[in-house]
Structure 1
Amino acid sequence: MPRRPSLGPLGPLGAMVRAGVAAVFPRDPLLRNGHLLAISSLVSAGLGSVFWVLATHWYDDEVVGVSYSALSMTLLLASIGQLNLSDFLVRFVPSAGHHTRRLILVCYTVSAVVSAVVAMGFLLLVPVVAPGLGFLLTPVTAACFVAATAGYAVFVMQDGALTAVRRPGWVVGENVIFACVKIGLLGMGAALALFSGILLSWVGALAVALVVANFVLLRRAVPAHAREATEARRPARALRYAAADYAGSLFRMAAYTVVPLMVLNNLGADQSAYFSLAWIVGYVLYLVARNLGSSLVVEAVSNPERLVEHTVRMLRHTGLLLGTAVALVVLLAPRILSFFGPEYAEHGTTLLRLLALSALPNIVVSLAIDVWRARRRLRWAVGVQIVMCVLVLGLTKLLLPTLGIAGAGVAWLVTMCLLAAPLLVWRARWLTNGSGRSS
């Protein structure tokens, strides 16, 4: 009688476990790295939700609202000062070879300095453009705000660098470190009754995560990447590419980060808190699509002839993954928000459902932008992001007075549908095997 093949020490259970792991982490680097980046977003969001749940229990709603608005400005200012060099690293590090370390360090230095300058400039304008954030003007809090902005710019770039050298597992690790330290420091701030405890917890957690992640990146991952590289190319027309990509990213990030400030200025701190927590959950779905797209760009640099094939696979895969997630969020929205408190479920459920639905057409928009970036055809990428920003901010301003915070959700859903529809109808214009480039 022939001997049955062994299934290992766990028998059929072990086979099932291995099959599940293979499904989540396939051998194909396109999907494996994309899955790890998506898991990073989910882990970060899960732990981030714990952070905000604790914040809503330890701090007043007004403090939560103004703190989230301040952190939203930190993200916006870091995006301005970062010059979109994270995406630049994703695009050019895979082929940089022994130039990789220098490329990363130059990007770090430039973005940290510019972000700090931009943050200081914003603080000078707070009395005029954001009087609700006046608490930032005390010396200690102002210093922490500037440090958080510069640190977050580098934090975002190290994600791009780790992705580019195919170390997405450490993107997960650094986000876990950041979230856990942040939660611990939040508790210390609450125990000391610090009004700025939420902001201070971010600064301390950023410092720890930056040290750990960059030790791994610069001492281990980058040398290994340089040894494995078959060629080392200096980025051609890098400044022109970076300038165009940066211009588009500013409009995209403005759409993401200005809306919370609009809610604060138009509806007050309490409504800002309800909006912020729903946005945190809904934005995770946008991050999943963006992270999967980063994996697409990395693989496209190495195998440009397979870009269309990879894009179609990623489009189907992301649609299936996010379609399931969106259905769950729409169904469970009240329960998800109730973890923050019953008032968050009462005021934010409709908004969260609208944001979740908008994540589906965003898949097409996000992947189209990544395809244009991989091919260095940035005129269309910039144009789409400008239209996105104008529509989101314009519709939000129009709808907030009548629909409340749900108006922002309607703005996102309408905007994404209006952008995705023509991209699907005329997909042959961007999803082709053409080799031409433009910047």
Structure 2
Amino acid sequence: MLDVQLSGLLGDAPAGAGEALDLVAGFDDALTLGLARLGEEPAAALAALAGALAGTPIGERVGEAVEKVAAGSVADEHLAALAGGRAALFGAVHDALLARLDAALGRTRAAWAPAEAKPEAAASSAGSSSAGSSSAASSAGSSSPAGNLLAGCRVWLRELAIVGWRGVDHDLVSAADQTIEALLAVPELRGLAVLLDGLATELRASSPVATMDRLPARRWADLWTRAMLLSQQGPWHGGGAEQVSGRLLILGADVHEHATVVRVQIHAVLEPAGGAPARLVRTSIAAAKVDTIVGPTVWKLLRDQPVLLSALAQHRSVEITDMPLLPGGDLVWENHRARAGRTPTRSPRPGSSSPPRRRRRSRRWTGTPYASPSPSSSRATRPTGRRSTWAAASWRSTSTGCRPQDRSRPRWSRRPRRASGWCAGTAGSGRCSRWPYRRR
């Protein structure tokens, strides 16, 4: 059975996965040269992207965006549609690979429930109306100051798309510093701020990009796509959250360290209090820092989250009460709504319904105690079993008054003294017959 599963996983890629990745590579090449000067190949790559997505819910908007960009009109809603189309291709490849994994392992997953479109979200999303950028600007201005900051992010991302990666210089990168600094002050937009800060740092380190032989086009296009989608108004900025309570079983943590910020992303299993099915969630805690704070020192910056850090260090569960949970599975962590669990988060043994018992410490002495020497024998009975330092000193014989064997002294110094009165068995020879000269 295992051979069949491995052959199913290591076989050929799912049908259409290679073609989808080729479409993504064509879009990345167009973004490298810039959308302001599209050549024949970049224009054909964008047209192929629109044709592949023609039968999807976003096919109409992607087709319209390709036509506008080819005509020289690059607006925010057009770039948002192109970014959404690129992300949709990667999502299709991900779903195909995940379906093959589930089929090989015999797993079943809950069906994805599409979120209901809210009026305010639909009005503020990119390209939601024929008015285009005017409606987006009005919706952004209605939710100040977050709307203004998101609009500033879209302006900088639009400039990157117009000039392309080959046209990036220090002046273009520095134009985003003020916007990123303002984003870091808003907790709901801190994730987008860190993303833009990382992209700007890489571009600044590579400027001028025109002199580079090879470009990380796939990586920069991934960052640009995610930033463009996060800069739109929607529930991913804290809206549409539900209150959940239950037990949180921590699986592991990822440390995302940056020059100006550090974030610990924790993956866990949430067991709701109402008996609902368990689900995978993730939560993040972050703190600002300077570039000289690196390594284990970054954990000291997160001291304001003692419950989560102690549970992570001690492998314990966490009891949460009315914690906000976003639709994407992100748990908005609030320290006052959590308390550490009583039992460690250890999975039960296979085939056992009860949690595992703690392993007891072994006894310090598993053999027979020292026996007193018989009158006919000149040496004491040697103990059997495993030796252990169960006492600071073990008496070889208490009836004859022998000197105790001091375990704290070095082995080479464990010799009997040549002094009369220590033991009657020495008889002036300096060695006790009931006390071995050397430990074995």
| TM-score normalised to structure 2 length | 0.23
Q: Name the structure, 1 or 2, with higher relative contact order (CA <8 Å, separation 6+).
A: 1
Higher normalized strand content (fraction of residues)? 2
Higher normalized helix content (fraction of residues)? 1
| TM-score normalised to structure 1 length | 0.23
Larger radius of gyration: 2
